Amino acid sequence: MTMFIQQKRGLSVSPPIIITCELCNTLENLDECNPPGDILRIMSKRNVCSKCAFWMDKIAHPDIGNEVIGSHYYIVYPFVKRPNNVIKGSEGKEFYIRRFDGTLIKSNNIWHQGEIPEHFRKQLPDTANFLSLITYTKLSNDPHKCQAKGCWDRYNCLRYNLSCERDGPFNKIPANHTIGDENCPSFININELKI
C-alpha cells in the first residue's frame, strides 16, 4: 500500500512504515496509528505494536482504582450519587465487586479498558470478582469468616476460613453430597461468583 504525503508543492509518494511486534507478531502500519505520546515511546523503544504498548503502559503505570476481573481490565471509580448529568462508565449501571482481599466495592462508574492479551496475564492477574446484589448484600451485612470445619459445604463456601484446618480435614465429605445441602444461612457458593 502506498501512502501520499501532502507537501507545500503537491503530493509525493511515501512508502508505509510497517513494524512487526516483537511480542505478538502483529504487523502495524505506523502511518495509520496515532497513539498518545507514552504509547508511541514504548512502541519505538521496545519495537511493539500499539496494543502491546498499551498493556505495557498499564503494567508500568497502573490506573488508580484498577481491577482485573476475568482477564478484563477495569477502572473502578467510587459510586456517584448525584448529579445525574455526570458521565459515568458502563452507562451508570451498578456493579458489585469483591476484591480477593475481601474488600467490597459498589460502583456505578466503571470503565472497561479491554481484555488482557494472554501474554500479559501473569503481570496483570485477576484481583476481584463481580458479585450479584444478593451476595454483595449478604457479605455487607455479615462479613464473618466461617470456622465450621465439619461442614460438608466448606470447600465451596466463600466464607470458609481454610486456615482452621492446619491439622488436616476434620471429616471426609461424602462423594454423593450436593453442594448447598447443609442449608447454612451464611453459605455463599464460591462457584456462583461472576467472573
User: What would the pLDDT profile of 27-59 be if each residue is shown by its tens digit?
Assistant: 888 777 777 778 888 888 888 999 999 999 999
What pLDDT, on the 0 to 100 scale, is given for residue 1?
40
- At residue 92 the predicted structure's pLDDT band, cuts being 50, 70 and 90, is confident
What pLDDT, on the 0 to 100 scale, is given for residue 88?
81
Q: Which whole-number Å values give the CA distances from 55 to 39, 43, 90, 117, 169, in the listed order?
A: 9, 11, 21, 8, 42
What pLDDT, on the 0 to 100 scale, is given for residue 18?
82
Spatial contact of 37 and 44, defined as CB atoms under 8 Å apart = no
Most confident among 78-87, 106-115, 140-149 (mean pLDDT): 106-115
Please write the tens of the pLDDT for every residue from 113-129.
Answer: 999 999 999 999 999 99
